[in-house]
Structure 1
Amino acid sequence: MSPIKITQADGSRLNALVEAGYETLVVHSRSGSGTTARNPDYKLAVTAIMEKLDGAGLPFTVYLDSRPVEHLPLDQRRLATSRQLSGPFDSRFAILVSAMNAGSASRGAWRRIRFAVPGASASELSSILSAGANTAVSAIQRLSNTDQRRVTSAHIHEAVRRLAVGEDAPNFADS
């Protein structure tokens, strides 16, 4: 898992601890207040993730991922799927908070959660979440087997040469 930055539509970055892995995003819990708060932009990060995954056409499932339950199988920790989370993003967030606190004394804790995004790599997820208003976010398109077979070593060498001399690769996220 690698830490990633989430950018809002206006280009500003959120102060939220989010990690990406293959088919996975983990949003760490929020606690405290003021200058001692951990993960202060938790709510903004969760709503931005849902909005950007929707915009990219990527279905997702959200799971509780906090320490007391991490030993349980994922199917026992499921909070909601993207299909179950419809409507305004504030309403979606309220549904998640209610589900993550079900059966506990707390009704408002913002716990660590995991977004499962089938077929998406960590770099694809990072690219989608760091896209601002000026960056088009589109569904991840995979090459067909036929197109993949057309790529030769000469194509790869030419791409490396172009990158080595400083040409841009607009369809790749920053490394």
Structure 2
Amino acid sequence: MSSYTDAKREAGAAIRASSPTQEIRFPRLFHPDEIREMPRLKFAEGAESGVFISRERDGSRYFSQGICFHEPDMADLTWQATSWDEAFLCISGKLHVIVVDRDGKELNFHMEAGDHFWGPAGYKYTLRATGVETLNYWTTGPAQPTGWRYTGDDGSYSDLLIGMRKVAQPQS
């Protein structure tokens, strides 16, 4: 191995060693049951998410992830994406996504299980009922410095996530 590569590795190790330990930031595996049992954040009547990766609970710096559970007759779930980009994968069921740009132009996307949607900031989005129970796996980024506290959703959910923090346990 070259001395250049060794020097880079040593520099990287020094940087990692100098970083403050954050006991809530550690790699871990999430099982489907754990995700399904997460407390839910209600976005609209019949549309609730279990946020299983967040700044509050996991110290996530760059994104949040969750699963949104959509009832067949859910109320419209509408938001103006201003502070983050969002992507979601239709795990099961169907999603109807309505996108409106700043000039009022509307686009409709109809997703089936397995379809993936990219929703950049700067648009108004609506998820509309499809008559089918649906699971939607989503990611938002960047994570807001205050987490979910000031997103316009239930601020107490942020406290709930903080209360669910886990401390890293030594792995064998």
TM-score w.r.t. length of structure 2:
0.38
Between structures 1 and 2, the one with greater strand share: 2
